[in-house]
Structure 1
């Protein structure tokens, strides 16, 4: 097992996949060739069986790290008893000379580059490299190709390692020892595929050129961020993290970079988040639009267009980047992070019914169309009338149906208040889209009026049946006593009035019964799973938004800043936080958390611009684009 904290990990990537690198410089997680591909390094989940690329330095005394400003290039500084070395880690992503209207905006090289340079004194140590193909289920065959190159094969896959120092092969592990003086380097490039990689002789120049190209790509992308508020560096880090969770070839957006990291310690809540959740991706689209990144939103619409074989007639809760989401499978040969298993891949929740996704998607679509002033690319524009009709038809058919709800509990379906509220939100945004369309082609006046009548009926129902007078709160489901932090989220979309006394009471009850200081649990009820999960970080940020919408800006800002301090030293968040220890829990980096950081920074900026006499437009705040 590994005893490294989840917060010890940084992430790099190339918009095809990501790699996790620990504070000590060990590359402990990498799936190739894409986010949901089989892991070839997975010491994150089992340090004995799972492969890694480790850096071992003699006499190590101090470690600091940072991202190069405006990039996803990681720089770790190691101080030893005799010198100082800097490790620069990145996955090469080079700019296209001309970015196409659709498709990847950069050219990924399917490499991890590790540039190790001695900056002062002398440093000595060694690289240790051992991949473990197909989640450590396939045997590894390793062969040398000259002094500085080794090729690893296993499970039908290939990795080629090229180093600036000789590599010695011992069984299936390569080791490269070095002793460096100031100005000397021991670079290492790990490439995926049979025909990839550079040779040892040309390594230094190739690494420098690739670093310059990759830095230029990220700096140009960051330079297009429109947010200029007081949390710009925090917002930009979250935006860069979300960009890493995109998949350039398909346009999809995965929920997190990892699988199998536990939400409960101990427990069996160890899920695979390397898939495209409609809800998470839609919310990410909103975050991108809020920062001026309309192309990423359009690319997700492309993903749906190409993934949807029913021509917009249905939305799925979850998608794989290609093909169907695999069923759940447990890797019993892996012990799990800190010995907490079972490690699961695939996701059984793909078969659940969660109708709130129609509202989630319409929120994102509305925000995107407003941002592009209702002049989207032709392929998006051509599908709008049909898509809007199908989405609203689904809402009207689902309005009385029970579902599994936002939290994917594997229990019986219920009449979820969050779902009903999001159905209202979906119809509300559909009306706004149809009325704002300059060509007036998306819906007839009679159709718009029918949507408005249905929305009013849905809203009246969940206000009446969702309120539990005995509990003094809106609860998780009709005729339920269970509190649910998801109700806070519906306030952010205008499904509830933030100034309403019942909403204020609900916020108070959630804080009392689901709160742990600044942190919030999703719910506190038996969900059929083992162990008690940690607090859900996004829920804590939703409370920030509710406070801001209620006009309690000072409280909201103070809470927001305290929550930001709970990220790791690089500003990264996992899904959850253990209330007792403050440790990160769950898969990392978690898109749902980082989009909450972005959207609430934008929300606080909007709240600060409001005058005391103005009523905030709570309906539009969730997907408003800042001026």
Structure 2
């Protein structure tokens, strides 16, 4: 079986986990019961060893697909030589009434529902269900029950499958053949676990409830600008990357998809990066989704009870981060091994995370007019003290930086700029309380003095006269697209001649048309990685801040056209082929789309809610 292009995949989910479905209807990725759980289907990473839930139709001659408006319910229409059939895929999610102050706003059913309806003529084919538990490291058994439900087991895990057409069992696989006339259907339900009714008779009720959940959620989006559909699709994708029970937000739905082909840049992104998650929160706030922002703060409050004293680069959704291991029995997407489980970057020193978190916290507090829930407000003085203390203590230390370089640590300019941003945000938060309950005036003044010193230092030390640009680290000739990100946080004046020169040098040295590489230095890894999509959107923001609005808008429109047919983006784009690369869907990319659509609206003098 040939590996499908990454852009072929759509995503569905229930705010606990996600499933990836290819254009031909094959469900090739699903981790249960949560995003970072062991994969049940993983043909995405090995089309031969990895299991899938396939739809095999006879005589397909055309395919169209879409999401139902304002939802994460996927519809794929197949034209065959004899008829037309519609496949509706979703994971049931029922809105809680009333929605609690904290915790999940919906009730997931731990199901995947696949509804096939013949709309014209006659269609024939088969459902083929073949799970491979624990990343295909254990054997799978399948047993048919008296009610027609098939129970799959492997390595202590289990899944049930039931259909409106009979399922036949053979060697760990269940198949159901069908022949449908117009008006007839063939539903299939997959359920996690070994107990209970799979729910075949509830599919219509679940569909109505799930559509109502997503449409209500979408209806609260405050952005009304010219890119509303693009923005809303990105918001819906970010919502899928949340883990409602904990409040965490994973960086992407997948692991192991390569950033370079060939190469060994294959990582597991199903964890909560402080940087990615914090700025996903910012994107939520920009669209009026304050509750999602508060939910991430809940996650952090529980994951880090020290209230900022021991802030980590990344977290598992529950429990400790797993060690990075190699799944060497898997071939990898297009043979690009190794497939890594876990992420060794969790042990790195990346000091910008203190600034990242303070930015997100400040943005959230502004959105709620500095009147947060009691559980947030009660911890603010301690959190501010710890986070600013980290910044001041580590301001002169080297680190690995935003790109998680696995070599020697450096005095990285982006890190230093984010330390300034963090102290500046902390001071603004503290000064919002005229009664000085968050920090005494002398402490705020100390933060502001340290911030001024850090800013003066990185402006002086980060500029490389020979290169004619701000570079990756002090004294280095290496250019770094992350400097553009620092401009977006106003750590630099976007209108200054030095920033203009830096943008020009980055475009020249790191540019590939509209796209940008993160850097072009030897990082010790194999293969040449693709361009980093978020960096191209940062360039949009820098152009907008430099009063080059027409260029910024034109670039933004060309970039959003590079998503797949559903508006989904992976982490990177191959500059030569235009193919998506890396894990998908990538939260960092979709956050950048949202925030820059909002930035362009503000550039035109509108709020996100009233931009036309």
Q: TM-score, normalised by structure 2?
A: 0.98
Aligned to 1:614: none
For 1:488, the equivalent position in structure 2 comes to: 484
Distance 1:234 1:314 in 2: 37
Residue in structure 1 matched with residue 73 of structure 2 by the alignment: 73
Name 1:104's counterpart in structure 2. Answer: 104
Q: Would the aligned equivalents of 1:148 and 1:164 in 2 still touch at CA under 8 Å?
A: no
- C-alpha distance in structure 1 between counterparts of 2:610 and 2:80, whole Å: 47
Counterpart-to-counterpart distance in 1, 2:545 and 2:197: 53
Q: 2:374 aligns with which of 355, 375, 378?
A: 378
- Of the three residues 541, 548, 554, the one matched with 1:545 is 541
- CA shift, 1:146, in A, is 2.8
Tell me if the contact between 1:522 and 1:539 (Cα under 8 Å) persists in the aligned partners: yes
Contact 1:401 1:415 in 2 (8 A): yes
Q: 2: CA distance between counterparts of 1:72 and 1:281? A: 20
Query: Contact between 1:267 and 1:531, CA under 8 Å: does it hold in 2?
Result: yes
Question: Relative to structure 1, is the Cα distance of residues 160 and 439 closer, same or farther in structure 2, using a 3 angstrom cutoff?
Answer: farther
Q: Deviations over 1:555-603 (max 9, x none)?
A: 0000000000100000000000000000000000000000000000000
Unaligned runs of 5+ in 1: 611-620
Contact map agreement 1:472 1:506 (CA 8 A) in 2: yes
Match of 1:274 among 270, 273, 280: 270
Q: Secondary structure at the match of 2:260?
A: coil
8 Å Cα contact 2:3/2:44 also seen in 1: no
The answer to whether the 8 A contact 1:60-1:80 is kept is: yes
* Counterpart Cα distance in 2 of 1:606 and 1:229: 10
DSSP-derived class of the 1:20 partner: strand
State the aligned residue count: 611
Matched, 1:404 2:390: no
**Aligned residue in 2 for 1:578:** 574
Supply the distance in 2 between the matched residues of 1:85 and 1:422 (Cα, whole angstroms). 52
1:315: Cα distance to partner?
A: 0.9
CA distance in 2 between counterparts of 1:72 and 1:438 reads 44
Q: Which residue number corresponds to residue 369 of structure 1?
A: 365
Instruction: Tell me, in whole angstroms, the C-alpha distance in 1 between the residues paired with 2:432 and 2:561.
Output: 40
The 3-state SS of whatever aligns with 1:268 is coil
Match of 1:617 in 2: none
Match of 1:322 among 311, 315, 318: 318
> How large is the RMSD of aligned CA atoms in angstroms?
1.3
Counterpart position of 1:249: 245
Q: CA deviation at 1:546?
A: 0.1
> Which of 419, 423, 432 is 2:419 aligned to?
423
Structure 1 residue 147: Cα displacement:
5.9
Residues 1:477 and 2:473 are matched in the alignment: yes
SS of the aligned residue for 2:455 comes to: helix
Distance between the aligned counterparts of 1:533 and 1:551, measured in 2?
Answer: 32
Partner of 1:37: 37
Aligned to 2:280: 284
Offset, 1:444? 1.0
1:78-227 matches, cutoff 5 A: 78-146=78-146, 148-198=148-198, 203=200, 205-227=201-223
Measured at CA, do residues 587 and 542 of structure 1 come closer, stay the same or move farther in structure 2, by a change above 3 Å? same
Alignment partners' CA distance in 2, 1:439 and 1:296: 29
**Are 2:42 and 1:46 equivalent residues in the alignment?**
no
CA distance change for structure 1 residues 591 and 465 in 2, over 3 Å: closer, same or farther?
same
Whether the 8 Å contact between 1:147 and 1:166 is mirrored in structure 2 is no
Contact 2:160 2:198 in 1 (8 A): no
Aligned-partner Cα distance in 2 for 1:439–1:260: 51
The answer on whether the counterparts of 1:190 and 1:197 sit within 8 Å (CA) in structure 2 is no
The separation in 2 between residues aligned to 1:145 and 1:548, in whole angstroms, is 62
187-196 or 239-248, larger mean C-alpha shift: 187-196
Deviations 1:432-463 (A, max 9, x none): 11111355311111111111110000000000
State the match for 2:20 in structure 1: 20
User: Could you tell me whether the CA contact under 8 Å between 2:307 and 2:386 is conserved in 1?
Assistant: no
Q: Which of 494, 497, 500 is equivalent to 1:501? A: 497
Q: Would you say the 8 A contact 1:471–1:481 is kept in 2?
A: yes
Q: Secondary structure of 1:407's match?
A: coil
The residue aligned with 1:4 is 4
- Number of the residue aligned with 1:613: none
Task: Return closer, same or farther for 1:626/1:309 CA change in 2, 3 Å cut-off.
Answer: farther
Q: CA deviation at 1:225?
A: 0.3
Residue 44 of structure 1, CA deviation: 0.2
Confirm or deny that 1:601 pairs with 2:585. Answer: no
Secondary structure in structure 2 of the residue aligned to 1:87: strand
Unaligned runs of 5+ in 2: none
SS in 1 for 2:185: coil
The residue matched to 1:169 in structure 2 has which SS?
Answer: strand
Q: CA deviation at 1:378?
A: 1.0
Displacement of 1:198 = 3.2
TM-score by length of 1: 0.96
Q: What is the match of residue 237 of structure 1? A: 233
| Contact 2:411–2:474 (CA under 8 A) maintained in structure 1 | yes
Mark the CA change 1:438 to 1:300 in structure 2 (over 3 Å): closer, same or farther. farther
Q: Is the 8 A contact 1:269 1:530 kept in 2?
A: yes
What is the Cα deviation at residue 194 of structure 1? 2.0
Secondary structure of the 2:418 match is helix
Query: Is residue 61–residue 79 contact of structure 1 (8 Å, CA) maintained in 2?
Result: yes
Is contact 2:3–2:47 with CA below 8 Å preserved after alignment? no
CA distance in 1, matches of 2:286, 2:433: 20
CA contact (8 A) 1:371 1:625 kept: no
Contact 2:253–2:586 (CA under 8 A) maintained in structure 1: yes
Report the Cα distance in structure 2 between the residues aligned to 1:133 and 1:461, rounded to whole angstroms.
53
Q: How does 1:513-532 map to 2 (within 5 A)?
A: 513-532=509-528
Would the aligned equivalents of 1:314 and 1:391 in 2 still touch at CA under 8 Å?
no
* More moved, 263-272 vs 302-311: 302-311
8 A Cα contact 1:367 1:625, kept in partner: no
Secondary structure of residue in 2 paired with 1:229: coil
Q: Secondary structure at the match of 2:186?
A: coil
